[in-house]
Structure 1
Amino acid sequence: MPTARSDQYAAFDDAIAARGVTLRTSGDDYRRPHELPGWYHQLAPVTPTSAWTTSTERAAFAQARIRLGTGAAVLRNYTKSMKYHRHDATFIPDLTDPTTACLV
């Protein structure tokens, strides 16, 4: 899911383009390195295994959880770690336990 900041930048890019001005960095060029799905494939060998959804549906979360396999995980958005909530809101102790994982 795109972050508001990327969406805002893309809207700014569109608005300024409508006035005949071209930004040095387009909305797409801003989003690509700023959000995980845009750069993960290039840095996967040196980045923790990751899975993401483009939906807020529980089924999409379950599919991402299954793709990750077993063990613990930390739930993040594309650009922030939510590190201040790690122990209660974003830490998944066991990916194979759908009940515990869905409490997140």
Structure 2
Amino acid sequence: MSKKSNTSKRYTAEFKRDAVGLVRSSGRTVTEVARELGVSSEGLRGWVKQAAIDRGEGPAGVLTTAEREELVRLRRKVREQEQTIEVLGKATAFVRPERKGAAGVGR
């Protein structure tokens, strides 16, 4: 009895591009090509679908690979900036603590 690994394999962009090209040029089914390459047919089907989207052949509103990468980058940047703002707010509160009961006295 064989156990399936819970870890997913990572494939290079070049491998994915070549696999998609093989599907498009060979006239064979995704399942046949996937079996030959030793990859999941569902994974290869997703690569083929994303390649079509990247070529502008996908449904309206679906993100290209470049747009997805930019979205991830921008979300990371926003998260970092939010953390910076939080740290600066705490630092400001530490450096300039509110004086209780002294508001307006002596001014």
TM-score interval for Structure 1 and Structure 2 normalised by the shorter chain = under 0.3
Between the two structures, name the one with larger relative contact order (CA 8 Å, sep ≥ 6).
1
Q: TM-score, normalised by structure 1?
A: 0.27
Higher helix share: 2
